[in-house]
Chain A
């Protein structure tokens, strides 16, 4: 039976090309890699959004990558050093419980090397579609923790205009929080 499995795998696997010409775009990476492998029910779907990360749609992935600093144009020179690639290859310190040490994702099965390479290629391009550059007023995707320890998202306004649904501009008397996929202004 083991031989049968191996033969079957070889036959099917031999169909593909060794040249990886997939587009290194956020849409493609999200829909073909991150969503099926990471956005499962108990993990990074909208349903659970474990540790605040959500990878089931390009908009959600964009917000997650920007807000949580998973990758940025600063990683262009060395994509392997980005938090995202580190998490997918050697693991990062657990966000839930740091005493658990490094946790590699996905938790239940590793990603193919070629998928990691595609993500690295996208980061090397400057994370197009998930860039967030402070504008002339210095407003970007910044967060701060208020007195009660709650993470508050300050007004988010990206230079590339790509942050989508969570772009929110709040009045001076309001602060901006992110609840589910939509930015909401809350009175101070």
Chain B
């Protein structure tokens, strides 16, 4: 039997699955503020460093006015260099169904990007949760640091056009929601820290965009995801307020392959200032041995600003791990309330209620959690 270990690592560092967060901004802003992720971010897939326009968008939606640039523009940077960063932490209550309270760090990342003409090198350097050491060992400082993303990119022209990337990054797939517990992130092929080595060819215009990523299991570290494969995502915006997308991914390792196909849609209703975003995936999993399951993963996000500094998200998630068997599907209701104190500082109250086999004879316990999450952008 296992022995109790008196680990020096604070228990709060492992609030399972909820600690950590990918540095992404808000896909809710797409269509309501700008047409593409690359209008506000330096990456064609969004997330991480903001562009000059991204700074202005962040500043336009905040309670108090500040300089939105890196370190409030107190540290002037040459035009070829961009630096940024994100710090996050959270505390909250879990009833899953056991009651508990936890405080934990989520993210401490610095982003650096150097560009010369059409070429750029980008890297994210920061803290990572150290791998457990058998025998109650203490991880070395270097074991707590890593580079989540680092890649070389060539881009044709500004925000639009052709992008080629090679290095370590998240395969571009689906809506790329910021909250990794969202079902289409967690169960949809892009969970937290699923960045890996690959190459992508991407084309972005204001009317449409397409991304094709080939990726391999990280050969350098013990990764979260062991899969190698290909991911494709394309999005068409027939109107300024509407986008429709399609996605496909084939990924696996020696005993398990997942084939994903899905659709996305996003609609901005100017009269109500509401963004509706949805993603639905069908997954066919091929496992060594009998019983390959078909799965369904979906998420619907309704997002509306209140005033100039509050954003309310209502999310509905559905995940069925095996469509052939009753009682294996989960439904989640998420409510996230963001308050942007400044363009650098944000508080988010995140809450979830999750049911299993809702309305069926078999299911499981209802779970829930509520977290207060603080975010500071350098």
Question: B192 near A: Cβ within 8 Å?
Answer: yes
How far, in Å, is A137 (CB) from chain B's closest CB? 23
A50 adjacent to B135 (CB under 8 Å): no
CB contact under 8 A between A16 and B222, given known A41-B191, A47-B131, A149-B135:
no
B104 (CB) vs chain A CBs: closest residue: A42
The tally of CB-CB contacts under 8 A between chains A and B is 251
Task: State the A residues within 8 Å of B (CB).
Answer: 1-2, 5-6, 8-10, 12-23, 25, 27-28, 31-33, 35-36, 39-43, 45-52, 56-58, 68-70, 83, 91, 93-98, 100, 102-116, 145, 149-152, 177-181
Measured CA separation A49–B355 after assembly (Å):
27
B323 proximity list for chain A (CB < 8 A): 15-16
With A18-B362, A22-B293, A149-B135 already in contact, 11 other A-B pairs whose C-beta atoms are closer than 8 Å: A16-B322, A19-B325, A20-B325, A28-B287, A40-B192, A40-B224, A42-B15, A100-B100, A107-B100, A109-B354, A114-B364
B324 adjacent to A36 (CB under 8 Å): no
A31 adjacent to B358 (CB under 8 Å): no
Question: B316 near A: Cβ within 8 Å?
Answer: yes
**Which of A12, A43, A56, A116 makes the CB contact (< 8 A) with B320?**
A12
B324 adjacent to A16 (CB under 8 Å): yes
Measured CA separation A16–B316 after assembly (Å):
21
How far, in Å, is A69 (CB) from chain B's closest CB? 5
How far, in Å, is A73 (CB) from chain B's closest CB? 14
Measured CA separation A44–B136 after assembly (Å):
16
Within 8 A of A (CB), among B325-359: 325-331, 333, 354-359
B314 (CB) vs chain A CBs: closest residue: A1
B326 adjacent to A17 (CB under 8 Å): yes
A40 adjacent to B17 (CB under 8 Å): yes
Question: B98 near A: Cβ within 8 Å?
Answer: yes
A36 adjacent to B4 (CB under 8 Å): no
B363 proximity list for chain A (CB < 8 A): 112-113
Q: In the complex, which range does the number of interface residues on chain B fall in? A: 35 or more
How far, in Å, is B15 (CB) from chain A's closest CB? 6
A108 (CB) vs chain B CBs: closest residue: B17
Interface centre among A22, A50, A68, A107 (most CB of B within 10 A): A107
How far, in Å, is A186 (CB) from chain B's closest CB? 12
Measured CA separation A39–B1 after assembly (Å):
21
CB contact under 8 A between A41 and B288, given known A6-B358, A50-B132:
no
Measured CA separation A89–B72 after assembly (Å):
50
Measured CA separation A46–B196 after assembly (Å):
14
B17 proximity list for chain A (CB < 8 A): 40-43, 106-108
B356 proximity list for chain A (CB < 8 A): 110, 112-113
**Which of B136, B290, B293, B361 makes the CB contact (< 8 A) with A18?**
B361
Top-5 shortest CB links A-B = A107-B16, A46-B222, A16-B326, A150-B135, A41-B193
B18 (CB) vs chain A CBs: closest residue: A108
The stretch among B5-13, B52-60, B75-83 that forms the contact with chain A is B5-13
A13 adjacent to B325 (CB under 8 Å): no
A179 proximity list for chain B (CB < 8 A): 134
A68 proximity list for chain B (CB < 8 A): 2
**Which of A31, A104, A149 makes the CB contact (< 8 A) with B136?**
A149
B318 (CB) vs chain A CBs: closest residue: A12
How far, in Å, is A125 (CB) from chain B's closest CB? 14
A9 adjacent to B224 (CB under 8 Å): no
Question: B142 near A: Cβ within 8 Å?
Answer: no
A45 proximity list for chain B (CB < 8 A): 222-224
**Which of B4, B226, B314, B361 makes the CB contact (< 8 A) with A57?**
B226
Measured CA separation A43–B72 after assembly (Å):
36
B1 adjacent to A83 (CB under 8 Å): yes
B226 adjacent to A42 (CB under 8 Å): no
Contact with A along B297-333 (1 / 0, CB 8 A): 0000000000000000010101011111111111101
Interface centre among A13, A25, A116 (most CB of B within 10 A): A13
CB contact under 8 A between A110 and B6, given known A6-B358, A149-B136:
no
B268 proximity list for chain A (CB < 8 A): none
CB contact under 8 A between A114 and B362, given known A42-B129, A109-B367:
yes
A31 adjacent to B193 (CB under 8 Å): no
